Amino acid sequence: MNFDGKRIYLDPEPVVDRQAAFEVVMIGHCPGAADKRVLFAHQTMAPEIAALGYAEPLDALKKDIDQPDPLYNLPIPLYSLAEFLQLFPRENPATVYRSRLAGSQLWLPAAVEDFFRYSGSHVLKKLWIINVDQMLAQHAFMPDEQNTTLDTRAGNAFMRALALPRAGLLVMPDLERLQIPAQIEGVPHLRIANPVPQFLPCSTNLEDGVRERRNSEEMQQAPEPRAFGTLLRPMLASISRFRPDLRLLISLPFDRELLGEVPQESRSALTDVNNLQKSQLADALHRVQIIYPYVRDYRRRLLTATGLLAGKMAEIVASKGAWRSVAGIPLAGHYEPFPRLSQQHIEVLRNDKAIGVLRSRLQKTELDDERLCGGVFGDQTEHARSGEISRFLGWVYRELERLGHQLLFNVDPADPKPLIVLQDFFNRLHQLGALRGKTADQAFTIQRLLSDNDPSTLIFTIDIAPAFPIDTIRLRLQQDRLEISRG
């Protein structure tokens, strides 16, 4: 970033002295080749990547530091928008895939800007970005079921995203862009009466470089959007197998046919979700949060709202707790849902389809409810299908794993320290309102056991009661007839 006609350069390098409470991963398309000098000159960027097991790829990149490289499938940590703009200084180029609604602009740069967009909350945000090749289309976002998260040599973006130990949310903006049907339009064309035909003399300049339409061989063949179910099935299977604490945030695609004046949600995608609810992956559906519709900015560009919601989730987790919802909170920026939905339509998507709906209220865009298609713990009741509960359980899983690493080298199974640490952790959660129950005994129970096979192995069985959100408030208004008669 530069100011005053490129006389003042801003070199963003914040001093990070603590961990972010909620890390987010974005897989998408970055603009052009990266400036590798920025990568290696940064104080924490290259060391963090090397600590994940990518020391050899970094050494190879450093040897050819003057050669441009898009850094495909390499997880890169960011703590500000300025770092992203400095690492990828090229302007947003035209995309390989173009649709009438989304145009020819990449969605990842806009999602990164939305994630770091200031909304009055001074919290540390950490974002991992993974750049993938546009020529691979939807295939670049799919998991490789032949590899595991431990194999860093396999260049699969999805599996490398799962290997990030502190990541809590996965977003794929450009995958959603590729799922926008190429031919549907957002605003109906203005019908103008045809002029009366007239005979005019032909121009003598026949080679003026202007043609009414392109030849068929010059037309770009747009890839067909994939079925929503074929995308979700392998993703949910990989997340459930390798990272059960990770959550996926994705938008419901548009229908491929324009049945009205504006696009509508995909009927086939809703059918796929319904089929997943009856499949073996039904218990894993609480790990994906589906939202609808998309948003438009002040320039009328169609974008995804996943970057805005991911940034808001990071703020809420850091400031109020992972058990707090982002629903009903105005999102940063000047966006409006597209298309705008009626209240009846919102209720149908929320109650019948279990979709989180974006709505406009007081000229601000907000999420109506963090509704999930599947319930946590296999419970399909309304209060168990809340996004904040699923996010809270994933956060608890990562925090317990972090506590376990701190206590890993305690060699005495009789040492009371692990039990004291766990009791203190859940006591604080109960005091903050994350667990329901009047007393701590009602909120959680911890049992300490020794393994039958190995007496040196200590096992803790933990039962918790998460605080359920209030879905419906019913107010009964009753007149006092006695007071009315006296008046």
Is the same domain home to 14 and 130?
yes
Q: For the segment 432-470, what is each residue's pLDDT rounded down to a tens digit?
A: 999 988 899 989 999 888 767 766 677 888 898 888 776
Does residue 402 fall inside a structural domain? no
Is the same domain home to 27 and 167?
yes
Q: Is the pTM of this model over 0.95?
A: no
* pLDDT on residue 210: 47
Does residue 348 fall inside a structural domain? no
Does residue 167 fall inside a structural domain? yes
Token pair of 322, please?
């992972």
Domain boundary among 296, 317, 338: 317
Does residue 249 fall inside a structural domain? yes
Is the same domain home to 311 and 451?
no
With 60 as the cut, is the pLDDT of residue 172 above it? yes
Is the same domain home to 290 and 164?
yes
Does residue 330 fall inside a structural domain? no
Quote the number of domains for the chain: 2
Does residue 76 fall inside a structural domain? yes
Q: For the segment 466-485, what is each residue's pLDDT rounded down to a tens digit?
A: 887 765 556 666 665 555 55
Closest to 376 measured CA to CA, from 349, 396, 348: 396
Is the same domain home to 307 and 420?
no
Does residue 373 fall inside a structural domain? no
Is the same domain home to 136 and 30?
yes
Band of the pLDDT at 66, cuts 50, 70, 90? confident
Domain boundary among 255, 288, 317: 317
Does residue 208 fall inside a structural domain? no
* pLDDT on residue 362: 84
With 80 as the cut, is the pLDDT of residue 179 above it? yes
Q: DSSP letter string over 419-438?
A: HHHHHHHHHHHHHTTSB-SS
Is the same domain home to 308 and 417?
no
Return the bridge partners of 130, or none. Answer: 27
Q: For residues 381 and 375, is the Cβ–Cβ distance under 8 A?
A: yes
Q: Give the Cα separation of 40 and 47 in Å (integer).
A: 9
Domain boundary among 288, 317, 346: 317
**Structural domain for 259, as ranges:** 2-183+226-317
